[in-house]
Amino acid sequence: MAFTAAYWALAALKPRVIAMIGCDMVYPQTGPTHFYGQGTADPLRKDITLRSLEAKSARLLALAAQSNCAMVNLSDAPQSRLIYPRAIYTSLNSVRPISFQRSLVEHALRAEARAGYMVPNGRYWKVADQFDTQVIDQIDQLWLDVAEHTTNYTALSEAI
C-alpha cells in the first residue's frame, strides 16, 4: 500500500520530495511494531510480488529520481526495509534525488516488460500462479544492482 500510494503521488502530484515516516516494514517478534503500538504485518506479507521490499524500494527510488523527486526516510527506527537515504524534516528543502545509471534502470524496466507481469485490473493475487518467482527474483536483483551503482552509494549501502 505504501508503494502504491507513493507511485500515485509521484504521478499525480509530481512532488520534489516524498518523505516516508513510520513505514519501515520491520515487524519484530516483541515490542512495538507499528506507529500506534502493536500490530501484525501487512496481510499481503506473503504476497508473491513483495519478495524483496528492498528491491521494491530501490525501484521507487530510481523512478522517482527520474522524475526529479527525492525519496527519503524520516524514520529514526534503527532498521528499515526501505533503502531511501535518511533525512530529518528540517532538511527537506535541501534534499535532492540520487543519480542513477540510466542504462541499469532501462535494463531493469526492459526485464519487467519481457516478464509481462501486468494485470490490468490490479488483482494480481488472483493470477499469482502465473508468475515465476525466479523471474521476480531476477528482476528484484536488477533493481538492487541499480541502487548499488548509484553515485550516492554510501547513503544506501547500509540498507541493502
The tens digit of pLDDT for each residue in 118-129 reads: 999 988 888 999
Asked if residue 149 has pLDDT above 50, the reply is yes
Rounded CA separation 158/94 (Å): 22
Judged by DSSP in three states, 155 sits in: helix
CA atoms within 13 A on the CB side of 112: 16
What's the grid cell of residue 93?
528543502
Angle among Cα 139, 141, 143 to the nearest 5 degrees reads: 75
The pLDDT tens digits of the residues spanning 43-80 come to 555 678 888 999 999 999 999 999 999 999 999 888 89
pLDDT grade, residue 143 (50/70/90)? very high
State pTM to two decimals. 0.86
Rounded CA separation 69/66 (Å): 7
Give residue 93's identity as a one-letter amino acid code.
N
Percentage helix, strand, coil for the chain under 3-state DSSP, each rounded to 5: 50, 5, 45
Rounded CA separation 69/119 (Å): 27
The pLDDT tens digits of the residues spanning 1-56 come to 789 999 999 999 999 999 999 888 877 777 766 666 666 666 555 678 888 999 99
- pLDDT score, position 83: 94
